[in-house]
A and B are shown apart, each in its own frame.
Chain A
């Protein structure tokens, strides 16, 4: 019974907060900007509160981090860059560049 009350109160607080905080649409913009600049104190507090009650936006933030980290690793010139389906230089382009290089040398 006690647990039931506790859950109800927690739910009520979350609901109350969610009605007053900026909605998800604005929050995801702030999340994106948090990757670009230092957020203001107000923005940070609002974001933290929103994330506390909203699993969707929590996941959104987590996914952006996953995307950034995997892309940065890829950007570090690792051989994984060579994913099999990536396009390669066409033979015409290859020939053209070869001709250019040979001409340039003389």
Chain B
């Protein structure tokens, strides 16, 4: 921290160094959850401002980044609260694609898996997937066709491990609504990953 750049004597060295060191990380973190670059920029800015005001409370306990991420999480939840107030969602309103085509509709096996969409063996463990940076690009691409709120609910639940209650509170939805959103997100994501990652990895068999 001692070699902080001091371009202008008025600048707070801490804040500028923070921006250099953690700006991109916090931005990626926010984009992954908010799925909106503008909202993510705002959240990062609010985080730094709040951090600047509360710096005495930090007192160097733990890593700076962890502390900043903690503040960012609150800012992200605040964003959802605000947008929910501005545009409350109706029950069942665009929760994501239903993917009815995944299941047969006519023959004796109605509502069972359609062979063309049925899951196959992935031959993979989470550890193996994490090693491959490319996997996360496919993952991100797969999330993008989902409605913003569905993708966000999914990210808050699966990445941050928030409880159903916390997410419902932040998004202003009922728990049943959340379950429908999560189910559709999973149905879509699993299929998309299989098509774009596993089939490709297996040589397009």
Contacts and interface: CB of A to CB of B under 8 A. Distances in A.
Pair from one complex:
yes
A56 B136 CA distance: 25
B199 interface: no
Contact of A66 (B23, B66, B126, B187): B126
A80 B23 contact: no
Contact of B122 (A28, A36, A63, A74): A63
Contacts of B15: 98, 101-102, 104-105
Interface of B: 8, 10-12, 15-16, 19, 23-25, 27-29, 31-32, 37, 41, 44-45, 48-49, 52-53, 65-66, 69, 102-103, 109-113, 118-122, 124-126, 129-130, 133, 136-137, 140, 158-161, 164, 178-179, 182-183, 186-187, 189-190, 193-194
A42 B193 CA distance: 32
A64 interface: yes
A64 B129 contact: no
Contact of B27 (A67, A68, A88, A104): A88
A34 to B, nearest CB: 11
